[in-house]
Amino acid sequence: MHPAFSVIFLTTLIGAGQGLFLALFSGQLYSAVNLLPAQSSSFYVTGSIIALVLMVGGLAASFLHLGRPERAWRAASQWRTSWLSREVIILPAVMGLVFVYGVLHFSGWQPDWFGNGIPHQPALIVGAVTTLAVFALYIATGMIYASIKFLQEWASVLTVINYTLLGAASGFTLATALAAWQGSGLVGFYGVWAVILTVAGLISRAASLYRNARIKYKSTVQTAIGMRHNAVVQKSMGMMGGSYNTREYFHGASAAFFKSVKYIFLVLVFPVPLALLWAGLEEVSVVLLGAAFLVQYIGLLFERWFFFAQANHPQNLYYQTI
């Protein structure tokens, strides 16, 4: 497939934003039961703003993908059948919930509903709902690709797992840098989870690379045109120039470039951020932890490019030669 930068930015930005929210809420949840030191409201407010900015950026990028963005509101109508429609509904819902979560922390409204003295109870409830919505959004985003069964590189549960783990990993890395910057006591907690999620992401992404390297394609040129003969070669695709079909379904990069992107993202998403996290956690360095997020995010851009480029659409069987 031809990787569209709008979709690359959409999936990586909202993935990191969702992961950052998960980090914020898990920090609050742990401190509510006194497993972690309590944080000031400003930490959650700043975190919510950053998560929102990431998701707004992703949403803006998604509009660039549309031919007719002025009609984007229509995209919410087919939630019964379309995973894209479901994503279109859940993404603004998550953004709204994160906004409410930040506002609740900002307001300082602290009713003691349960009579146990836990701070920020409304934010905890909204945060729990948001967490469910965040996971629903990871699933919706992944399923947009995993549900197309004949794009065999995508049609796997690993696609959903990768979107979730890699988004969460980049979000927790960002949360580690944020905690270091804000002088929060959660640096170690986030840092350890960032490492765990990054390693888990490496395992699942490696599994999908392994799986995709061994795919046996169901469609062949024989099934595409229905000729039962071993030697079938396309001689003409019926036109002199290109078409939508020749542009949309192939990445257009050289084999060497394509292969090098794989190694670039494998280095940038996993070992380099892990090393930076390790070094940054040693002396709680904002610069090193910030660099860990930046490198991982840039790596994820390569990862997403590769994800799209790797998918081999069966329609290419009809467009093999000019």
User: Where on the chain is the footprint of other proteins (CB under 8 A)?
Assistant: 1, 65-69, 71-72, 74-78, 81-85, 88, 144, 147-151, 218-219, 221, 223-227, 229, 231-245, 248-249, 313-316, 318-319
Q: How far is the CB of 8 from other proteins (least distance, A)?
A: 14
Q: How far is the CB of 179 from other proteins (least distance, A)?
A: 37
- Which DSSP string corresponds to 106-141? HHT----SSSS--S-HHHHHHHHHHHHHHHHHHHHH
CA 25 to chain centre: 18
Give the tokens for residue 63: 């509009």
| Residue 19 near residue 178, CB atoms below 8 Å | no
Q: How far is the CB of 229 from other proteins (least distance, A)?
A: 5
How far apart are the C-alpha atoms of 216 and 212, rounded to whole Å? 9
Closest among 258, 264, 5, 33 to 153, alpha carbons compared: 258
Give the nearer residue to other proteins in terms of CB position, either 29 or 237.
237
Give the nearer residue to other proteins in terms of CB position, either 116 or 230.
230
Q: How far is the CB of 136 from other proteins (least distance, A)?
A: 16
Q: How far is the CB of 233 from other proteins (least distance, A)?
A: 5
Which residues have C-beta within 8 Å of that of residue 238, sequence separation ≥ 6? none
Give the nearer residue to other proteins in terms of CB position, either 40 or 243.
243
Give the nearer residue to other proteins in terms of CB position, either 99 or 318.
318
Q: How far is the CB of 161 from other proteins (least distance, A)?
A: 21
Give the nearer residue to other proteins in terms of CB position, either 40 or 223.
223
Q: How far is the CB of 134 from other proteins (least distance, A)?
A: 21
Give the nearer residue to other proteins in terms of CB position, either 37 or 92.
92
Give the nearer residue to other proteins in terms of CB position, either 131 or 312.
312
Q: How far is the CB of 215 from other proteins (least distance, A)?
A: 14
| Residue 298 near residue 173, CB atoms below 8 Å | no
Q: Please write down the HEC assignment for all residues of 165-208.
A: HHHHHHHHHHHHHHHHHCCCCCHHHHHHHHHHHHHHHHHHHHHH
How far apart are the C-alpha atoms of 230 and 59, rounded to whole Å? 47
Give the nearer residue to other proteins in terms of CB position, either 149 or 214.
149
- Long-range contacts of the stretch 287-292 (C-beta < 8 A, 24+): 289/173, 289/176, 289/177, 289/180, 289/187, 289/191, 290/177, 290/181, 292/173, 292/176, 292/177, 292/194
| Residue 85 near residue 76, CB atoms below 8 Å | yes
How far apart are the C-alpha atoms of 94 and 103, rounded to whole Å? 14
Closest among 48, 38, 29 to 121, alpha carbons compared: 29
